[in-house]
Amino acid sequence: MGGRVEPFRAIAISQLARALEAAGRSVVHMEFGQPSTPAPAAALAAVREGLERDPPGYWESLPLRGRIARHYRDSYEVAVGPARIILTCGASPALLLAMLSRFRPGDRIAFARPGYIAYRNTAIAAHLQPVEIGCGPESRYQLTAAAIAALDPAPAGVILASPANPTGTIIEPDELAAIARVCQQRGIVLLSDEIYHGLHYTRPAHSVLQYAPDAMVVNSYSKYYSMVDWRLGWLLVPEAHVDTARAYAGNLFLTPPSPSQQAALAAMDCIAELEGHRATYARNRQLLLDALPSLGLERIAPPDGAFYIWADVSHLTTDSLEFCTRMLEQTGVALAPGVDFDPVDGHHFIRFSFAPATAQVEEALRRLQPWFAAQPRIR
């Protein structure tokens, strides 16, 4: 029997939001990290053209793997052979593939708390033992080399996310290098979730591969490339593990949809358009950073990347799910409750997503100003 996997509470919020909309209410959706920007125009054109030709069937695009390899060289100056890249239906299956193909049941796998809900639940589903490392504002909610060095016994693996969900914070290059060193010394496998790379507002995130060439990396077209619907991503594994990981991928997933692969190849050359999207998110981020203090939300770590703000609301609630539900019912603004990302302290945190259109972010702030002003303080 599988371990207990918790549901994503933001899905319940989203379902309530849809029900309110069906009843005629207007809702601003800030509960998911879902780009409001469209897939690049050239990606759609490539798919239309591809559909006119014979479909390739089960297929993994060699040109796309080559293009991803070039991306590592161009963006991070690291050489990666295309054979090390396994295309998957998004980062989610890539995470599962990494966990199943590289670890054994019972292995301990550590990651930051708060963190993306699926790290804990995918690990449980893969019969691994999640080890959550509580990370607070002093490390901007990120893992540190010292925290990993202090784990006793050493875990089999560590998952990094930089920029992270739900905080958007980036691990500084020196710290990333120190994490790589401590993992190498202790024989810990590094798995880096780089899904938010490209979406940065202060400085670009470094890839773990710049410091740990043997790390595994997960990435996806869902965020920077605005292609959630196309369900495409990749897992990058070290040379020595390619055959095993490919055997798992072939049996579990076969190949991702060929139209998505054709679209992704074109998308990787649409940088001007994608940078325009990033500018929209940068504007949205600034709107929130300017307005949140006037809502009484001052305990936040300004995000370096992704499209999230993690806000401490301990002066207002000890039940973030109830808080978000009430906020949605009373204002029509949907946010994610912190408990999704942190089962211990998340009861008094909420996560804003600034992925919606700028006008929607402005509308949310108009609705939230009076609502927050009317909330009684509990401490």
Ligand X SMILES: Cc1ncc(COP(=O)(O)O)c(C=O)c1O
Interface positions with ligand X (CB under 6 A): 33, 90-92, 116, 161, 165, 193, 195, 220, 222, 228, 233
CB-nearer residue toward ligand X: 141 or 317:
141
Q: How far is the CB of 54 from ligand X (least distance, A)?
A: 28
Look at the block and give the residue holding tokens 């933001």. 10
How far, in Å, CA of 362 to CA of 63, rounded?
41
Q: How far is the CB of 111 from ligand X (least distance, A)?
A: 10
Partners of residue 336 on adjacent β-strands: 351
CB-nearer residue toward ligand X: 90 or 303:
90
Q: How far is the CB of 234 from ligand X (least distance, A)?
A: 10
CB-nearer residue toward ligand X: 139 or 314:
139
Torsion 107-108-110-116 (CA) sign:
positive
Token pair of 222 as six digits = 């869902």
Q: How far is the CB of 127 from ligand X (least distance, A)?
A: 20
By CB atoms closer than 10 A (0-12, 13-18, 19+), residue 307 is: buried
Partners of residue 134 on adjacent β-strands: 113
State the DSSP code for 200. Answer: B
Comparing CA positions, the residue from 336, 281, 264, 91 lying closest to residue 194 is: 91
How far, in Å, CA of 67 to CA of 56, rounded?
19
Count H helices, E strands: the chain?
A: 12, 11
Q: How far is the CB of 56 from ligand X (least distance, A)?
A: 22
How far, in Å, CA of 101 to CA of 248, rounded?
6
CB-nearer residue toward ligand X: 121 or 314:
121
Look at the block and give the residue holding tokens 């679209």. 263
CB-nearer residue toward ligand X: 90 or 338:
90
The answer to whether 290 and 282 have CB atoms below 8 angstroms apart is no
Token pair of 154 as six digits = 């050493």
CB-nearer residue toward ligand X: 91 or 274:
91
Q: How far is Cα of residue 169 from the mean position of the Cα atoms in its chain?
A: 11
* 37: phi then psi, degrees, rounded to nearest 5: -80, 150
The size of the chain, in residues, is 379
CB-nearer residue toward ligand X: 193 or 304:
193
CB-nearer residue toward ligand X: 232 or 316:
232
Q: How far is the CB of 220 from ligand X (least distance, A)?
A: 3
Q: How far is the CB of 24 from ligand X (least distance, A)?
A: 29
CB-nearer residue toward ligand X: 61 or 331:
61
Q: How far is the CB of 166 from ligand X (least distance, A)?
A: 8
- Collapsed DSSP state (helix, strand, coil) of residue 364: helix
Q: How far is the CB of 189 from ligand X (least distance, A)?
A: 18
How far, in Å, CA of 153 to CA of 200, rounded?
35
